[in-house]
Amino acid sequence: MNRIPWLAPPLAPVLVPGPAGPPGVHDQTCDPPGLHAPTRRHRAIHLRLAGLLLGLAGDGRWLEGWLFAGWFLGLCATVIVWLYRKDPALLAERYRRPGSGGQEGRDRAVVYAIVLGFAAWIAAIPLDARRFRWTPALPLWVKTLGGALLLGSAFLLFRAFRDNPFLSSRPNPGRA
Protein backbone atom coordinates (compact mmCIF):
# COMPACT_ATOMS: atom_id res chain seq x y z
CA MET A 1 0.00 0.00 0.00
CA ASN A 2 1.41 3.42 -0.94
CA ARG A 3 1.91 5.79 1.91
CA ILE A 4 0.23 9.16 1.41
CA PRO A 5 3.06 11.65 2.05
CA TRP A 6 0.90 14.55 3.22
CA LEU A 7 -0.65 12.71 6.16
CA ALA A 8 0.90 13.63 9.49
CA PRO A 9 3.26 11.12 11.04
CA PRO A 10 3.30 10.92 14.84
CA LEU A 11 4.30 14.14 16.59
CA ALA A 12 6.93 12.46 18.79
CA PRO A 13 9.98 13.85 16.91
CA VAL A 14 8.71 17.40 17.36
CA LEU A 15 8.04 16.94 21.06
CA VAL A 16 11.54 15.74 21.94
CA PRO A 17 13.58 18.51 23.62
CA GLY A 18 16.62 19.50 21.63
CA PRO A 19 19.84 21.37 22.21
CA ALA A 20 18.28 24.70 21.22
CA GLY A 21 18.48 26.34 24.63
CA PRO A 22 15.59 27.94 26.46
CA PRO A 23 12.18 28.03 24.75
CA GLY A 24 11.75 30.98 22.43
CA VAL A 25 15.41 31.18 21.43
CA HIS A 26 15.63 31.12 17.66
CA ASP A 27 18.49 29.95 15.54
CA GLN A 28 18.90 32.65 12.93
CA THR A 29 21.16 30.51 10.78
CA CYS A 30 18.34 27.96 10.29
CA ASP A 31 20.51 25.23 11.72
CA PRO A 32 18.26 22.17 12.17
CA PRO A 33 19.39 21.48 15.77
CA GLY A 34 17.80 24.81 16.79
CA LEU A 35 14.45 23.68 15.44
CA HIS A 36 12.86 22.48 18.67
CA ALA A 37 12.33 25.90 20.26
CA PRO A 38 10.40 27.34 17.27
CA THR A 39 8.15 24.29 17.06
CA ARG A 40 7.28 24.57 20.77
CA ARG A 41 6.51 28.26 20.37
CA HIS A 42 4.37 27.75 17.30
CA ARG A 43 2.53 24.79 18.80
CA ALA A 44 1.54 27.09 21.68
CA ILE A 45 0.44 29.81 19.24
CA HIS A 46 -1.66 27.35 17.24
CA LEU A 47 -3.35 26.06 20.39
CA ARG A 48 -4.05 29.64 21.54
CA LEU A 49 -5.67 30.46 18.20
CA ALA A 50 -7.93 27.42 18.49
CA GLY A 51 -8.76 28.41 22.07
CA LEU A 52 -9.47 31.98 20.95
CA LEU A 53 -11.84 30.67 18.29
CA LEU A 54 -13.82 28.58 20.76
CA GLY A 55 -13.59 31.07 23.63
CA LEU A 56 -14.98 33.97 21.61
CA ALA A 57 -17.90 31.82 20.51
CA GLY A 58 -18.99 31.54 24.14
CA ASP A 59 -20.40 28.10 23.48
CA GLY A 60 -18.39 24.93 24.06
CA ARG A 61 -20.98 22.94 22.10
CA TRP A 62 -20.30 24.79 18.82
CA LEU A 63 -19.62 21.84 16.51
CA GLU A 64 -18.40 23.91 13.55
CA GLY A 65 -15.89 25.69 15.78
CA TRP A 66 -14.50 22.40 17.05
CA LEU A 67 -14.27 21.05 13.50
CA PHE A 68 -12.48 24.15 12.21
CA ALA A 69 -10.11 24.19 15.20
CA GLY A 70 -9.32 20.51 14.63
CA TRP A 71 -8.73 21.11 10.91
CA PHE A 72 -6.49 24.09 11.66
CA LEU A 73 -4.42 22.27 14.29
CA GLY A 74 -4.18 19.16 12.10
CA LEU A 75 -2.99 21.17 9.12
CA CYS A 76 -0.39 23.03 11.18
CA ALA A 77 0.88 19.82 12.79
CA THR A 78 1.06 18.06 9.43
CA VAL A 79 3.10 20.81 7.81
CA ILE A 80 5.46 21.16 10.78
CA VAL A 81 6.09 17.44 11.19
CA TRP A 82 6.49 16.80 7.47
CA LEU A 83 8.93 19.67 7.05
CA TYR A 84 10.75 18.60 10.21
CA ARG A 85 11.37 15.18 8.69
CA LYS A 86 12.00 16.21 5.08
CA ASP A 87 13.62 19.67 5.24
CA PRO A 88 14.36 20.94 8.76
CA ALA A 89 16.24 23.97 7.46
CA LEU A 90 13.21 25.11 5.45
CA LEU A 91 11.01 24.60 8.51
CA ALA A 92 13.32 26.75 10.60
CA GLU A 93 13.30 29.38 7.83
CA ARG A 94 9.52 29.39 7.47
CA TYR A 95 8.76 29.42 11.19
CA ARG A 96 11.30 31.88 12.49
CA ARG A 97 10.18 35.09 14.11
CA PRO A 98 9.40 37.82 11.56
CA GLY A 99 12.27 40.26 11.20
CA SER A 100 14.93 37.88 12.49
CA GLY A 101 16.26 37.02 9.03
CA GLY A 102 17.43 40.46 7.94
CA GLN A 103 14.17 41.54 6.29
CA GLU A 104 13.70 45.21 5.56
CA GLY A 105 11.25 47.29 7.58
CA ARG A 106 8.61 47.20 4.84
CA ASP A 107 8.75 43.40 4.66
CA ARG A 108 8.41 43.09 8.43
CA ALA A 109 5.45 45.47 8.37
CA VAL A 110 3.72 43.36 5.70
CA VAL A 111 4.29 40.15 7.64
CA TYR A 112 2.97 41.68 10.87
CA ALA A 113 -0.07 43.07 9.01
CA ILE A 114 -0.80 39.59 7.63
CA VAL A 115 -0.48 38.07 11.11
CA LEU A 116 -2.80 40.69 12.64
CA GLY A 117 -5.29 40.26 9.80
CA PHE A 118 -5.28 36.49 10.32
CA ALA A 119 -5.85 36.92 14.07
CA ALA A 120 -8.72 39.35 13.37
CA TRP A 121 -10.23 36.85 10.93
CA ILE A 122 -10.00 34.05 13.49
CA ALA A 123 -11.67 36.34 16.05
CA ALA A 124 -14.44 37.41 13.64
CA ILE A 125 -15.47 33.83 12.80
CA PRO A 126 -16.94 32.91 16.20
CA LEU A 127 -18.25 36.39 16.88
CA ASP A 128 -20.28 36.23 13.67
CA ALA A 129 -21.22 32.56 13.62
CA ARG A 130 -22.10 32.04 17.27
CA ARG A 131 -22.00 34.99 19.63
CA PHE A 132 -23.62 37.89 17.71
CA ARG A 133 -24.94 36.02 14.65
CA TRP A 134 -24.37 38.94 12.28
CA THR A 135 -25.13 36.76 9.27
CA PRO A 136 -27.92 34.18 8.97
CA ALA A 137 -27.17 30.50 9.59
CA LEU A 138 -26.05 28.62 6.51
CA PRO A 139 -27.91 25.54 5.23
CA LEU A 140 -26.40 22.15 6.01
CA TRP A 141 -25.38 21.53 2.38
CA VAL A 142 -23.36 24.78 2.34
CA LYS A 143 -21.62 23.81 5.59
CA THR A 144 -20.86 20.36 4.17
CA LEU A 145 -19.50 21.84 0.96
CA GLY A 146 -17.37 24.27 3.00
CA GLY A 147 -15.96 21.38 5.03
CA ALA A 148 -15.09 19.46 1.88
CA LEU A 149 -13.40 22.54 0.42
CA LEU A 150 -11.41 22.97 3.65
CA LEU A 151 -10.13 19.40 3.31
CA GLY A 152 -9.13 20.04 -0.28
CA SER A 153 -7.49 23.33 0.64
CA ALA A 154 -5.45 21.58 3.33
CA PHE A 155 -3.82 19.47 0.65
CA LEU A 156 -3.17 22.52 -1.55
CA LEU A 157 -1.77 24.55 1.35
CA PHE A 158 0.52 21.69 2.30
CA ARG A 159 1.73 21.33 -1.28
CA ALA A 160 2.39 25.08 -1.50
CA PHE A 161 4.49 24.88 1.67
CA ARG A 162 6.35 21.88 0.36
CA ASP A 163 6.83 22.83 -3.27
CA ASN A 164 7.39 26.58 -3.10
CA PRO A 165 10.59 27.48 -1.26
CA PHE A 166 10.98 30.60 -3.43
CA LEU A 167 9.84 32.91 -0.62
CA SER A 168 12.66 31.54 1.47
CA SER A 169 15.93 33.43 1.66
CA ARG A 170 17.72 30.11 2.07
CA PRO A 171 19.60 28.96 -1.03
CA ASN A 172 18.03 25.91 -2.62
CA PRO A 173 20.27 24.44 -5.31
CA GLY A 174 17.68 21.83 -6.27
CA ARG A 175 15.30 24.43 -7.68
CA ALA A 176 15.79 26.82 -10.56
Give per-residue pLDDT as tens, 114-126. Answer: 889 988 998 999 9
State yes or no: pLDDT of 16 exceeds 50.
no
What range does the domain containing 83 cover? 32-163
What pLDDT, on a 0 to 100 scale, did the predictor assign at position 13?
Answer: 35
Q: Is the residue at 120 inside a domain?
A: yes
26-42 tens-digit pLDDT? 334 343 444 555 567 77
- How many domains is the chain built from? 1
Distance, in Å, from the CA atom of 41 to the CA atom of 84, rounded to the nearest integer, reads 15
Q: Is the residue at 14 inside a domain?
A: no
Q: Is the residue at 13 inside a domain?
A: no
Q: Could you count the other beta carbons within 10 Å of the beta carbon of residue 66?
A: 15
Mean pLDDT of the chain: 74
Q: Is the residue at 159 inside a domain?
A: yes
67-91 tens-digit pLDDT? 999 888 888 888 888 888 888 888 8
Q: Is the residue at 92 inside a domain?
A: yes
Q: Is the residue at 141 inside a domain?
A: yes
149 backbone φψ class: left, alpha, beta (φ>0; ψ -120 to 50): alpha
What pLDDT, on a 0 to 100 scale, did the predictor assign at position 164?
Answer: 76
Q: Is the residue at 89 inside a domain?
A: yes
Q: What is the pTM of this model?
A: 0.68
Q: What is the DSSP string of 50-86?
A: HHHHHHHHT-TT-HHHHHHHHHHHHHHHHHHHHHHHH
- Judged by average pLDDT, the poorest of 21-25, 88-92, 148-152, 160-164 is 21-25
